[in-house]
Structure 1
Amino acid sequence: MSPMTTTIILSSLATGTIITMSSHHWMMAWIGLEMNTLAIIPVISKQHHPRATEAATKYFLTQAAASALILFSSSINAWKTGTWDITQMTDSTANTLLTSALAMKLGLVPMHFWLPEIIQGSTMKTALIISTWQKLAPMTLLCLSMNNLSMTILLTMGTMSALFAGWAGMNQTQTRKIMAYSSIAHIGWMVTITTTLTNITTLALAMYLFMTTSMFSALISLKSKTMQDMTTSWTTSPTLMTMAMLTLLSLGGLPPLSGFMPKWLILEELITQNTIPMATILVMSTLLSLFFYMRLTYTTTLTTSPNTTQTKYKWRFKLSPYTLLLSSTAPLTMMILPLTPLVMN
């Protein structure tokens, strides 16, 4: 892909998200989502490979169906109430359709089946974009229309997402699929708290973006697509593998690291709202997720791969945007927990 084409596509991708995030009219939000979808399709399918073509087709069909549902729900609301304002979704049918559409956009259970397949069929760099940047516009619409959406449906979807992602990720050996199920679990946690406090949702989303960007940057630098690749990456750079290990533990939500902060605050708020059974299910699902993070950590860093003493250490990485991205996001992934009182105030 030529530099001019890449610039146009990435600019369109960014513009579509910004239009959706800054709009108050449903038509403008829909236009931004469509720009976003049409810009990411060439990025997914630029590899001339059947898996990439399949992933691009699946992504287009799923996102087009979700955008059509958003347009349909906003049209029903405008027909009933006479307004296209995003914050004035008062019709119950329109709200149910909108909840389903945003769940499909985000990859929430039971509309999650497209996400692992598309991320597995894409390159690591494209999977990074799908897992991070593509979540911003739907999450913004979710926060804007939160007061009118069905709380029961969202809480059920969020709890099911965290639980199912923990189960489904346990038997995966592909790092991209593990990150896809990690994405589903984290989005499930965010959705459960969106119904109560959107500021914690924003904090959880920011932490998710930092952790996922850090992990994908490490995987891109190490060129590791499977757990088998990760087992032999220690000789490439022990320092980078140590950072990847801490990032995985932060994704699992272990207390000394930054990933514990959003889960701690979300559980505290859920218990305050007297939803103790749902908080219990979320904690149990986190144990499932932590299992496959720990398994990946154990096979990569905590055990030494069978290398001979003549193995040459490849210390010299080529300087790339991903090593710089990793060096900027890894400290945020590991050391923000002491700042929790300051962040909340």
Structure 2
Amino acid sequence: MNPILPFIFLSSISLGTTLTLMSSHWMLAWFGLEINTMAIIPLMAYNHHPRPTEATTKYFMAQATAAAVILFASMINAWTTGQWSIDQMSHPAAVGLASLGLAMKIGIAPLHIWLPEVLQGLDLTTGLILSTWQKLAPFALLTQLPPLNQELFIAMGLASTLVGGWGGLNQTQLRKILAYSSIAHLGWVFLILQFSTPLALITLMTYFLMTFSAFTMFKINKSTNINSLSTSWAKAPALTAFTPLIILSLGGLPPLTGFGPKWMILTTLTSLDLNMVATLTALSTLLSLYFYLRLYAMSITMPPNNTPGTLPWRLYTPKPTLPLASTSMLTIMLLPILPTMLSTLN
């Protein structure tokens, strides 16, 4: 691929997200979402192999279906109320359809089926873009929808935390584990989105931070499955020491960064008398924590599971590690200032 093409595609992805973030009209926001989708497809299909091609096809079909639902919802609202403004959407059917379409674009349960298979077929760099940047625009639109479907958001958020936990239990491929981790974390965001937008934003940004650290760590170690983590000590010993902390932060264990948003969400749900929802969500975290602990065990406490071949050894690599160093420290040590950030946004 010509070196200028990735720059063009990444610029188009940024343009699509920026257009959606700045739009107050449904058609402009829809155009931004479509630019986002079409710009990442060449990056996904860059490797001429059946797996990336299959993943690209599944991604395109899921995103096209979601885009059609969103466009249909905006047309229903324009037909019934005469308004194309995003913040003026007031018809219950239009709000419900728009919420479902945006949830499908993100990968929220029960509209999550495409996400694990698509992420498994991509390389780690494109998977990182799909798991982080591609979710900004849909969430920006979700925050502008009126709170007419709080029960729908609670149900989908709770389902996502459960599906994300159950789905990752028997997985051995790291990209599928990160896909189910994404579903579970975004379920937490969905739970609180209708009640506290600043807290949902902090939860989303914390998820982006932890996911960036995890994807970058696996990319530097060239790890694609659980067994390959047991030999990562030979490639980067210092990075291997940080690996368990990043994994446990994804699991939400105190005193790491991942614990902060979950603790504040459970506190908010309890203050709203949603005690059963808070209890079920907290219990669903134990499912996710189990497969995070499996990664922890394979990365630091298990002996290498070597295949009959040459063991990868520590060699100098010119890969940039400054972004990983910065995000890893934030992934581990950001907990004390999260309440201050929330009070500032409020």
Give, in whole Å, the separation in 1 of the partners of 2:72 and 2:305: 58
Q: CA deviation at 1:244?
A: 1.7
Contact preservation (8 Å) 1:120, 1:177: yes
Q: CA deviation at 1:313?
A: 4.8
For residue 260 of structure 2, give the secondary structure of its aligned residue in structure 1: helix
Partners of 2:311 and 2:90 in 1: CA distance: 65
1:109-143, Cα deviation, whole Å (9 max, x unpaired): 11100000000011111110000001101111111
The CA deviation at 1:148 is 4.0
Name the counterpart of 1:139: 139
TM-score of the two chains, using structure 1 as the length reference: 0.96
Q: Are 1:15 and 2:2 matched, yes or no?
A: no
Q: Deviations over 1:164-185 (max 9, x none)?
A: 1101100000000000000000
Tell me which amino acid in the other structure corresponds to 1:242. A
1:26, 1:149 → 2: CA distance?
Answer: 18
Match of 1:199? 198
Structure 1 residue 312, shift from structure 2 partner: 8.1
- C-alpha separation in 1, matches of 2:271 and 2:339: 18
Counterpart CA distance in 2 for 1:222 and 1:63 is 31
| 8 Å contact kept, 2:231–2:312 | no
Is the partner of 2:143 in helix, strand or coil?
helix
1:84 and 1:148, CA in 2 relative to 1: closer, same or farther beyond 3 A?
farther
Whether the 8 Å CA contact 2:202–2:342 is kept in 1: the answer is no
Q: Distance in 2 between matches of 1:177 and 1:29?
A: 30
User: What is the alpha-carbon distance in structure 1 between the residues aligned to residue 319 and residue 184 of structure 2?
Assistant: 33
Show the counterpart of 2:339.
341
User: Which residue of structure 2 aligns with residue 156 of structure 1?
Assistant: 155
Query: Does the 8 Å CA contact 2:230/2:305 hold for their aligned counterparts?
Result: no
Residues 284-316 of structure 1, C-alpha deviation per residue, up to 9 Å, x if partnerless? 110000000001110111233268xx9785152
The equivalent residue for 1:71 is 71
Distance 1:228 1:86, change over 3 A: same
- C-alpha distance in structure 2 between counterparts of 1:116 and 1:311, whole Å: 30
What 5-or-longer segments of structure 2 have no aligned partner? none
- 1:195 deviation in Å? 1.1
Equivalences for 1:205-216 in 2 at 5 Å?
205-216=204-215
1:179 corresponds to which letter in structure 2? L
1:238 aligns with 2:243: no
Instruction: State the match for 2:304 in structure 1.
Output: 305
Distance 2:12 2:233 in 1: 38
Distance 2:227 2:41 in 1: 30
In the TM superposition, what is the alpha-carbon distance from 1:149 to its structure 2 partner? 4.1
Partners of 1:193 and 1:183 in 2: CA distance: 16
Equivalent residue letter for 1:332:
L
Q: 1:330 maps to which residue?
A: 328
Provide, for residues 207-266 of structure 1, a one-character-per-residue CA deviation record: whole Å limited to 9, x for no partner: 000000000000000000001111111111121112221111000000110000000000
Render the CA deviation track for 1:89-120: whole Å, top value 9, x for unaligned. 11111111111101101101111000000000
Q: Deviations over 1:71-102 (max 9, x none)?
A: 11001101111111101111111111111101
Moved more, 323-332 or 216-225: 323-332
After TM superposition, the structure 1 = structure 2 runs for residues 1-345 of structure 1, keeping only pairs within 5 Å, are: 1-145=1-145, 147-305=146-304, 313-314=313-314, 316-320=316-320, 323-345=321-343
In 1: Cα distance, 2:338 partner to 2:184 partner: 22
Question: Identical aligned pairs, as a percentage?
Answer: 48
For 2:117, the aligned partner's letter is E
Q: Report the AA paired with residue 122 of structure 2.
A: S
Contact 1:89 1:148 in 2 (8 A): no
Contact residue 77 and residue 83 of structure 2 kept, 8 A: yes
Alignment root-mean-square deviation, CA: 1.4
- Work out whether residues 55 and 121 of structure 1, in 8 Å CA contact, stay in contact via their aligned partners in 2: yes
Closer/same/farther in 2, CA of residues 268 and 216 from structure 1, 3 Å limit: same
Indicate if the aligned counterparts of 1:99 and 1:149 stay in contact, CA closer than 8 A: no
Separation in 1, partners of 2:323, 2:338? 23
Deviates further, 254-263 or 237-246? 237-246
TM-score with structure 2 setting the length: 0.96
Distance 1:47 1:152, change over 3 A: same
